[in-house]
Amino acid sequence: MKKSMLVSSVIACLSLMTAANAQDKFDAVHKDAQIMQNILTTSLKQNTRSDGIRFRKIETGYLAGQGLVFDIYTSTSKNMHFSFDFGDMVQSLEGMMEGFDVPEAPPAPDIEVDPHGSNFSFSFEVDEEMEEYIEEVQERTREVMREHRERRRDLREKERDLSWQSREYERNIRDLEFEMRHAEPERKKALEKDLKEIRSELEKLDTKKAEFAKKAKELEEEEARREAKMEEAQNQMVKRFLADFEATVAETLCDYGSGLKSLDDTEKLNFVLKEFSRGQGERSRDELDKVYVFNLKDVKQCVLQKLSPNELLTRTQTYQF
């Protein structure tokens, strides 16, 4: 009986020690993760361009045996996909804002210069006033686009009405031509006069219909050009942001990855750009995350300068989900 109690006591002590050791590890991971989060936040702020997609914040989690997860929030998160730089916006909206009041931009945010880097880098916060201004400009832009679509629908409706009137005139012409084949000479003269008037009206209708069709087509082409230009501008911003983001993360990990002492070499560092892109096909309405998975052992190789940041990126798994 005493032997059984001794074994139970030993097992209980070992369980408590294991739990305590596990908690110590989690505490150490939390500390390392917070330090890395602060470093990444500073680095990403410094390397965020003021004329494109903006970095917002990082949230960090840990999955035991799998590694750290850094959720990155940008201005594309929370359905903010109508993002473009102001230079492109002004050019693409030139001539479109007539009749609409464009809001006055608030003062530019303060910019801090870091003189210690190899190049001057800029750190700034987009304040609430600037966010409201951006949202207002976006709403005015959508309003202009809706106005153009309504004008195009109106022109197409007028074109359909004229087509209906043209068909009525054509039926009248056929009826008069049929009647002329059996009419007396005096009656034919009156019918010819009526035919001439109706054909003249039909020509005017056809001219108006062609004008409406031309204007509607021009609006369609203008809208297509504008949307293509805005899509290209946004694609370019995404490319610039991703290039800056990937370079910043890789360089930061190579410079400061040695601070992640509490993680096992088999674990990973996962960076998730939240709701960064829109899906395709059946998932065209879904907001997708862009995920980067770094192996910690590769990061440590980069810290030891056995890998360059670019080489580290080539070993990173990337996907959208």
173-230 pLDDT, tens digit each: 888 888 888 888 888 888 888 889 989 998 998 898 889 888 888 888 888 888 888 8
Is pLDDT of 5 > 90? no
Mean pLDDT on 159-186:
85
Instruction: Please count the other Cβ atoms lying within 10 Å of the Cβ belonging to residue 112.
Output: 11
Return the exposure string of 7-45: e unless at least 16 CB atoms fall within 10 Å of the residue's CB, then b: eeeeeeeeeeeeeeeeeeeeeebeebbeebbebbbebbb
**Predicted local confidence at residue 254, as pLDDT:** 97
| Three state DSSP letters for the chain | CHHHHHHHHHHHHHHHHHHHHHHHHHHHHHHHHHHHHHHHHHHHHHCCCCCCCCEEEEEEEEECCCEEEEEEEECCCCCCCCCCCHHHHHHHCCCCCCCCCCCCCCCCCCCEEECCCCCCEEECCCCHHHHHHHHHHHHHHHHHHHHHHHHHHHHHHHHHHHHHHHHHHHHHHHHHHHHHCCCCHHHHHHHHHHHHHHHHHHHHHHHHHHHHHHHHHHHHHHHHHHHHHHHHHHHHHHHHHHHHHHHHHHHHHHHHHHHCCCCCCCCEEEEEEEEEEECCHHHCCCEEEEEEEEEHHHHHHHHCCCCCHHHHHHCCEEEEC
**Predicted local confidence at residue 121, as pLDDT:** 31
Out of 17-26, 88-97, 155-164, 245-254, pick the least confident: 88-97
Instruction: Please count the other Cβ atoms lying within 10 Å of the Cβ belonging to residue 165.
Output: 15
Per-residue confidence at 320, pLDDT binned at 50, 70, 90?
very high
**Predicted local confidence at residue 130, as pLDDT:** 54
Mean pLDDT on 118-130:
41
* Residue appearing with tokens 């050009």: 225
Mean pLDDT on 75-83:
52
Mean pLDDT on 145-174:
84
Is pLDDT of 270 > 50? yes
The rounded mean pLDDT for the chain is: 78
**Predicted local confidence at residue 12, as pLDDT:** 47
The domain locations on the chain are: 30-320
Angle (CA) 95-207-174 rounded to 5° is: 155
Per-residue confidence at 91, pLDDT binned at 50, 70, 90?
very low
Is pLDDT of 3 > 60? no
274-293 pLDDT, tens digit each: 999 887 778 777 889 999 99
**Predicted local confidence at residue 316, as pLDDT:** 97
